[in-house]
Copies of this chain bind each other. A is one copy, B any other.
Amino acid sequence: MHAVLLQELKKHINLTAAEEELITASFRYKKVRKSQFLVQPPDIALYEHFVVSGCLMEYYLDDNGTQHTLIFAPEKWWTTDLHSFLKKEESRYYIEALEDTELLIITREALDNLLKEVPLLNNYFRILYQNAIMGLEERLLNVLSSKVEERYLRFLKKYPQLENRLPQYLIASYLGVTPEFFSRVKSRIHR
């Protein structure tokens, strides 16, 4: 179980056996069913979540009750409401399981300690955050400059494993359009 996490970390940094043990000891295992919430406003986001199997999503519910997907987190992705997790303030984003999901979770305190004991992990997280920034910048520009067709094609590239695991209305919420309009876009593409 923790092996998946260690594999992932080792893609970017080297770890001694002692460090691996520290890491393993710091993350706890959690299993949730489809439709369960891991973060639900106004609860404070207590954990950073690493997905071992299954899939999570992070989304925002606006004043009209419309759901806006920030990110899908399938296997080997991280997710949390970063603002809430770091500042211990009320969360504004929901994190929900889209499938039965196995997770490794770590609290803010455990993470701070771990970063002190295994300083190289700072590098891993720096890289993780840098990648998140690049992904968000690209996503923002997509929304600002591309039509829905093109955004959909980019979604397929970014999450090739998800196309058939998600209901269409969730893909629509990620693309930033209504399910109705997305349905029309798809039928337009297939011709």
Chain A residues with CB under 8 Å of chain B are 60, 62, 66, 68, 70, 82-83, 86, 119, 122-123, 125-126, 129-130, 132-134, 136-137, 139-141, 143-146, 176
Contacts and interface: CB of A to CB of B under 8 A. Distances in A.
A119 B70 CA distance: 32
B133 A82 contact: yes
15 contacts: A60-B141, A62-B145, A68-B141, A82-B130, A82-B133, A82-B137, A122-B126, A129-B129, A129-B130, A129-B132, A129-B133, A132-B133, A133-B133, A136-B136, A139-B140
A137 B136 contact: yes
A185 to B, nearest CB: 16
A86 B141 CA distance: 19
A144 B86 CA distance: 24
A126 B120 CA distance: 13
Contacts of A86: 130
Contacts of A146: 62
Contact of A140 (B66, B123, B136): B136
B82 A145 contact: no
Contacts of A176: 143-144
A134 B82 contact: yes
Contacts of A129: 126, 129-130, 132-133
A134 B136 CA distance: 10
